A and B are shown apart, each in its own frame.
Chain A
Amino acid sequence: MPKLHRSAWLIGTAAACWLLLLLSSLSQGRTVLGLPADWPRWLLLLAQGGFAASVFLYARLQPNPLVGHGFLSLLRRLFWRGLVLTALLVAVQQFGQLTAERRLPQPGDATATVGYAISLALFIVLLAQTLYIWRSLVNFRGSSRLRREWTAFELLLGAVMLFQLFVWQSPDFLQVGVITGLGLFGVYLSGHQRWVAYLSQGQKMQAILLQLGVLGFLTVFLVYLRDAQADPVLLAPPTQQAFLVLTSFFAVFYALAGLLVTLFNLPIADVYEQRRAEILSLQQLSQIIQRGQTAPEIYQALFTSAVQTIRADAAWLDAQLQPTEQLGPLPAPLTHELPAADLPVLRTQLATLLVDGQTEITDNDLVRSQRLAGLSQPYGSAAVLALRSSTHDYGVLVLLKKEQAGFDPEDLSILHTFTTQTVLSLENLQLAQEARISQSAQDELRIAALVQERLIPKHLPTDNWFEISTYAQAAKEVGGDFYDFLHLPGQRLAVLIGDVSGKGVTAAFHTAQMKGIFHALMQPNPLAKKDRERYPDPHRFMVLANEALTHCLERSSFITASFYLIDYEAGGFSFARAGHCHTLYYHSIKEEVSYFRSEGLGLGILRDASYGRHVKNQFWDYNPGDVMVIYTDGIPEARNASGDEYGEERLARMLGESFYQSAEEINQHIRHDVQEFSKGLPLHDDQTLLVIKFKSSQPQG
């Protein structure tokens, strides 16, 4: 612990110097320690200077007592110390006077001399405390230039001590000149009262009282020392007058200036300028968001604002470091006073620094921590801020300062505001982009839905020998179910229903295709010899459709379909089932509900001539009152909340309950039951339900 060591040395030196000071003071007019009286004046000055230097250096070595914005606690600490020191001074005086009352004091009185030496020591301690607390306040949010100026001020004060030690017989005008010059320097430094701007109204009152207290203590000491100089009893030992006067002057003047600034709210241009810069930067950032700028512009705005406001010596913003989401082309890394050769060094070191989801790293002593070593220039402090939202990384901002302790909590909170704002705007930008994309996709889907809507037959065929009712509901915007009718000449009706495997737009495309195939195949064949052969029978229809689909259906897709050709004159229908759901039928003569269980392979599964063997043509003679229910698997596979399927049995029961009603009523009865079954659940699959009811033959017209 070299620092502790140094502190111990300084305390020891101070004690030794004070003893020397005391002894040489006592030697005036008497022998001390067996040595001749009247030790030389330079020894006394040296002892005094040594003591002052040790005490000041000790105070200087202490860590910056200002934590965050704890100005008041700082002042309070100074106040209490001042109070204790003043109390000690008064105690020493009282003691001296008590002894003086008992006997007549002689010039060079030993008690008075000891009291004076103690008082002088107390004063020097108070001055050191005050000076270094003022240092914290002067340097609060100060530039590195100000810090250098302060160091110069300290060095000059030290020089004044030596000056008086060796050149005490210098001409008065030189002394006056030097003191005036340094005094003016102190006045200039006293102008740095930035901290006042950070006080609240209530804190200002307290600050004023505390500063008044400190001024009071200093005054007590000064008055005492002035009196002591003129005290005939004391034989007025010489003092390091120039140093003490200057330091006291600065201590008092800074307190006074702070008091006035606090009291009258005097604007301190610098502070307000900086605050204004912060506000402007924030405004600039928000404006960029409002204008909906691009990502590079947002990054640039953050970078400029941060570098200017924080007055960084070097800076780097890399959007390419740790990005998780592309916001269009990523902007090139932004740099400020940082050679390109440093970037790889920084990049590798940051990668190790920013692990474990850390978003903010401040290092105010890079020399000791050895972080970010290997850069082309040495830096004293660094702030690293990751631009990170809960879901994304947008890059890293690095700010560097040459001096140590360059980033105080205030700087970080400003930077934090900046980065938060930036992340927010980048996120907004991203959301806006996503919304635009999804909006256009939504528009496309809406168009697709409209197109599909147009494909659904709007005008149901009507005739006096049948009723048709239809219901179709897609699970998504567009569906894979399809149905169509064609009223053929000679009181014949072609009905097609089907389901494309898969869902969404791809499926929707194939439904359109099937509709095209249906209408193409149902064109009357002019070469047909018999009227019945003008149109393909269901088996042939399926074989032709399968062949047509071979060329346009992807290998893993297939289509299920049922095709019916109903002939009123023959009183029957032929049909073929290609993997589609079994037709549900109400047989009015047998008064029975049953499924047509027939074989038949879906379309697109076998893509060669062998398909014909896997599909069958079937015939059925219907009677008036018979009901045919044709549907897609969305109906029997509808699910309820516990995951059960609606099922073919329940469907059959519904027809059994409603067969005597009109086609529309039967349809409603079934679909209401299905909807009741899966109440409150989103549609799992497209649903299509066609009900055809054969009516008693009625004379036409």
Chain B
Amino acid sequence: MGPIMKVTAQPADTTLTLLLDGELDASSAVVLDTELNKPELLKYKKVLIDCQRLSYISSAGLGVFISHLQRLQDSNVKLVFFNMQEKVFNVFEILGLDSLMTIVPTEQAALAA
């Protein structure tokens, strides 16, 4: 099984947008983890996660975000999700992550958040 998810980073002045394309499961979680582990990530004020093309997220995929949550918070980097499909949002919601992470409908809202 090859990588079934692609991560594209779009850096701007103070924000970094990560485009997730595909299914985020145990095997593709490594790709995202590498991306989130980069030290330069902490330079940004916001890391926006564009979930428009994210079709599935497993517990391992959630684990990646969870494991970076504290580190980003400590460095005052805000993690914002947007364009999330309903199915994926349900997974966040059931786990209670919607109360912990900022999940907004659109990119404008994400930039404003």
Enumerate chain B residues within 8 angstroms of A582, measured Cβ to Cβ: 94
- Pick from B62, B63, B64, B99: contact of A599, CB below 8 A: B99
Chain B CB within 8 A of A557 CB: yes
Q: Is B59 an interface residue (CB 8 A)?
A: yes
Q: What 18 additional pairs, Cβ within 8 angstroms, besides A502-B59, A560-B94, A560-B95?
A: A502-B26, A502-B63, A503-B26, A555-B67, A555-B70, A556-B64, A557-B63, A579-B94, A579-B95, A581-B94, A601-B95, A601-B96, A601-B100, A602-B96, A602-B97, A605-B97, A614-B99, A633-B94
Any A CB within 8 A of the CB of B109: no
CB atoms of B100 and A606 under 8 A apart: yes
Smallest CB gap from A610: residue in B:
B100
Residues 87-113 of B, flagged 1 when their CB comes within 8 A of A and 0 if not, give 000000011110110000000000000
Chain B residue nearest to A500 in the complex (CB): B59
In the complex, A597 Cα to B62 Cα: how many Å? 21
- Kindly identify, within residues 573 to 620 of chain A, every residue whose CB is under 8 Å from any CB belonging to chain B: 578-582, 599-602, 605-607, 614-615
CB neighbors of A among B12-69 (8 A): 26, 33, 59-60, 62-64, 66-67, 69
Instruction: List residues of chain A with CB within 8 A of the CB of B64.
Output: 556
Contact yes or no, A601 B97, CB < 8 A: yes
Chain B residues lying within 8 Å of A668, measured Cβ to Cβ, are: none
A638 to chain B, nearest CB (A): 14
User: Which residues from A are CB-within-8-Å of B60?
Assistant: 501-502, 556
A18 at the interface (CB under 8 A from B): no
Contact B63 A579 (CB under 8 A): no
Q: How large is the interface on B (under 10, 10 to 19, 20 to 34, 35 or more residues)?
A: 10 to 19
Q: Are A558 and B59 in contact, with the CB atoms below 8 A?
A: yes
Q: Which 7 A-B pairs have the closest CB atoms?
A: A601-B96, A501-B59, A556-B63, A556-B67, A579-B95, A555-B67, A602-B95
Distance in angstroms from B24 CB to nearest chain A CB is 13
Which of A503, A558, A581 is close to B66, meaning CB atoms less than 8 Å apart? Answer: A558
- What are 9 A-B pairs at a CB distance below 8 A? A501-B63, A555-B70, A558-B63, A558-B66, A579-B96, A579-B97, A581-B94, A602-B97, A605-B66
The smallest beta-carbon distance between A487 and chain B, in angstroms, is 29
CB distance from B112 to the nearest CB of A (A): 25
Chain B residues with CB under 8 A of A600: 96
Residues from chain B with Cβ under 8 Å of A556 in the complex: 33, 60, 63-64, 66-67
**Closest A residue to B98 using CB positions:** A599
Distance, CA A436 to CA B59, complexed state (A)? 33
A601 to B100 Cα, complex, angstroms: 8
Q: How many residues of A contact B (CB 8 A)?
A: 24
1/0 per residue A529-569: CB within 8 Å of B?
A: 00000000000000000000000000111101000000000
The chain B residue with its CB closest to the CB of A558 is B66
What separation, in Å, do the CA atoms of A578 and B100 have in the docked complex? 13
Distance of A196 Cα from B80 Cα, bound (Å): 87
Contacts of A599 in B (CB 8 A): 96, 99
Give, as a whole number of angstroms, the nearest-CB distance from B23 to chain A. 10
Q: How many Å lie between the Cα of A560 and that of B59 in the bound state?
A: 10
Quote the shortest CB–CB distance from A601 to chain B (angstroms): 3
Minimum CB distance partner of A559 in chain B: B59
* Alpha-carbon distance A600/B96, docked complex (angstroms): 5
Using A555-B67, A579-B94, A582-B94 as known contacts, say yes or no to A501 and B99 having CB atoms under 8 A apart. Answer: no
User: Which residues of chain B are within 8 angstroms of A602 by Cβ–Cβ distance?
Assistant: 95-97
Q: Which residues of A contact B67 (CB under 8 A)?
A: 555-556
Interchain CB contact (< 8 A) of B62 among A501, A555, A614: A501
Q: CB-CB < 8 A to A605: which residues of B? A: 66, 69, 95-97, 100
For B63, B70, B96, the residue with the greatest tally of chain A CB atoms inside 10 Å of its CB is B96
Q: Name the B residues within 8 Å of A503 (CB-CB).
A: 26
Q: How far is the CA of A579 from the CA of B70 in the complex (A)?
A: 18
Within 8 A of B (CB), among A79-121: none
Bound-state Cα–Cα, A607 to B70, Å: 9
**Given the complex of chains A and B, what is the CA–CA distance between A633 and B62 in angstroms?**
14
- A499 and B62 CA atoms in complex are apart in Å by 14
Chain B residue at minimum C-beta to C-beta distance from A648: B90
Interface residues of A in 313-365 (CB under 8 A from B): none
Complex interface bits, A471-512 against B, C-beta within 8 A gives 1, otherwise 0: 000000000000000000000000000010111000000000
Residues of A within 8 A of B63 (CB): 501-502, 556-558
Residue in B59, B94, B95 with the greatest tally of chain A CB atoms within 10 Å:
B59
Q: Which residue of B lies closest to A601 (CB)?
A: B96
Question: A578, B96: Cβ atoms under 8 Å?
Answer: yes
The interface residues of chain A lying within 8 Å CB-to-CB of B70 are 555, 607
CB < 8 Å: which of A560, A580, A601 contacts B99?
A601
A502-B67 Cα distance, complex, nearest whole Å: 14
CA A580 – CA B97 in complex, angstroms?
12
Chain A residues near B100 (CB-CB < 8 A): 601, 605-606, 614
How many whole Å from A532's CB to the nearest CB in chain B?
27
> B58: shortest Cβ distance to chain A, in Å?
8
- When chains A and B are docked, how far (Å) is the Cα of A622 from the Cα of B69? 39
CA of A13 to CA of B69 in the docked complex: distance in angstroms? 98
Q: Nearest residue in B to A503 (C-beta to C-beta)? A: B26
State in angstroms the CA–CA spacing of A601 and B59 once bound together.
14
Q: Tell me, in angstroms, the Cα distance from A501 to B94 when the chains sit together.
A: 14
What residues on B are CB-neighbors of A502 within 8 Å? 26, 59-60, 63
| Bound Cα distance from A307 to B63, whole angstroms | 60
Whole-angstrom CA separation of A503 from B59 in the bound complex:
10
Instruction: Please name all residues of chain B whose beta carbon is closer than 8 Å to the beta carbon of A601 when the two chains form the complex.
Output: 95-97, 99-100
Q: How far is the CB of B32 from chain A (nearest CB, A)?
A: 11
Cα-based distance from A61 to B94 in the complex (angstroms) = 91
A633–B56 Cα distance when bound, in Å, is 14
Q: With a CB–CB cut-off of 8 A, which chain B residues contact A557? A: 63
Whole-angstrom distance between the alpha carbons of A38 and B67 in the complex?
Answer: 117
A602 CA / B66 CA spacing, docked (Å): 11
When C-beta atoms are compared, the residue in chain A nearest to B96 turns out to be A601
A36 to B20, CA, bound (A): 112
Closest to A615 in B: B96
Roughly how many angstroms separate A607 CA and B96 CA in the complex, as a whole number?
14
Q: Hey, which chain B residues are within 8 Å of A501, CB to CB?
A: 59-60, 62-63
B37 CB to nearest chain A CB (Å): 12
Task: For A633, list chain B residues within 8 Å (CB).
Answer: 94
Q: How far is the CB of A147 from chain B (nearest CB, A)?
A: 59
**Most chain A CB atoms below 10 A, which of B26, B33, B70, B95:** B95
Q: Give the docked Cα–Cα distance between A560 and B96 (Å).
A: 10
| Cβ contacts A612-636/B at 8 Å (1 or 0 each) | 0011000000000000000001000
**A606 to B100 Cα, complex, angstroms:** 9
Separation of A633 and B95 alpha carbons in the complex (Å)? 11
**A579 neighbours in B (Cβ, 8 Å):** 94-97
Complex Cα–Cα for A551 and B66 (A): 16
Residue of B60, B69, B94 with most partner-chain A CB within 10 A: B94
Distance between Cα atoms of A614 and B97 in the complex (Å): 9
B111 to chain A, nearest CB (A): 26
Bound: A573/B108 CA distance, A: 44
Complex interface: chain A residues within 8 A of B95 (CB): 558, 560, 579, 601-602, 605
Give B95 Cβ to nearest chain A Cβ, in Å. 4
